[in-house]
Chains A and B, each alone.
Chain A
C-alpha cells in the first residue's frame, strides 16, 4: 500500500532563514513524488515533482526538493523564506504503473514564516 508521512503538523521559521518541510513515503514500486501548496481560501497548487533523473528538483517560487531513495524521503526546501510562503504544504506520491494514478497525500504541514 502507498502512504505518505509528514511528521510535522506545523513549521515556524523566521523570514530570510532557510526552511525545510519533511516528507517520507512508502510505496510498492518506483514512486512519482509531488509537492502541492494550499494558500488560504485557494485551491491546491502544484509546486514541483520528481519523476526520474536528478534527485534534486527545482520548482515554483524558489522551492526545491531532494529525492532520497535510501531514506525514502522527499523533503521540501527553500534557501530563504518569505512571509508569503506561509501556507499549507502537502506531499503526495503515486506509483509508476498503468491504470489509476491517484495521488496519496500526506496530512499536510502548515508553514508559518515570521516577519
Chain B
C-alpha cells in the first residue's frame, strides 16, 4: 500500500519568508509525528498528533513553528519568518496506536529538504 508521502521534496526559501510543509500519513494510522534532521545529526522530535487528542507540541523549538492536522489525515507544518538555522530535512512519520501503549513502529516519509538562504 501507499506509504507516508511528503511535499515538497525540496524547498528553497529566503530568510524571513513563511513555508508550509505537507504530510500525508498512511491511511488508518492514527498517530502522526514531525521530526527535524539537521545535517549530520540525529532526529529531533517536533510535534505529535494522536486522534482527536491535543497535540504534544513539546518539541517545537520556537513559536515560529506550528502544525495542524485534519482529523486523522493530512498534516501541515508551518515555519514563519524562516531563519537560516531552520535549514534541515523535515521528516513526517505515522503509526498505529492501539490501547494505552505505543507498541507500533513509525513509518517515515522521504522528508522535505528545507534550505533557507
Contacts and interface: CB of A to CB of B under 8 A. Distances in A.
A99 B106 contact: no
A58 B35 CA distance: 26
Contact of A106 (B4, B42, B102): B42
Nearest to B4: A43
B42 A108 contact: yes
A96 B110 contact: no
A46 B94 CA distance: 12
Contacts, number: 60
A51 to B, nearest CB: 6
A95 to B, nearest CB: 8
B52 to A, nearest CB: 14
B43 interface: yes
A104 B102 CA distance: 13
A107 B48 contact: no
A102 B31 CA distance: 10
A62 B18 CA distance: 44
Contact of B56 (A36, A94, A100, A104): A100
Contact of A101 (B42, B48, B107): B48
A49 interface: yes
Contacts of B107: 46
Contacts of B61: none
Contact of B45 (A45, A102, A107): A102
Interface string B30-66: 0101010000011111001010000010110000000
Contacts of B106: 34, 46, 103
A43 B37 CA distance: 11
A90 interface: yes
Contact of A43 (B44, B59, B110): B110
Nearest to B55: A100
6 contacts: A44-B108, A46-B107, A100-B48, A100-B50, A103-B45, A107-B42
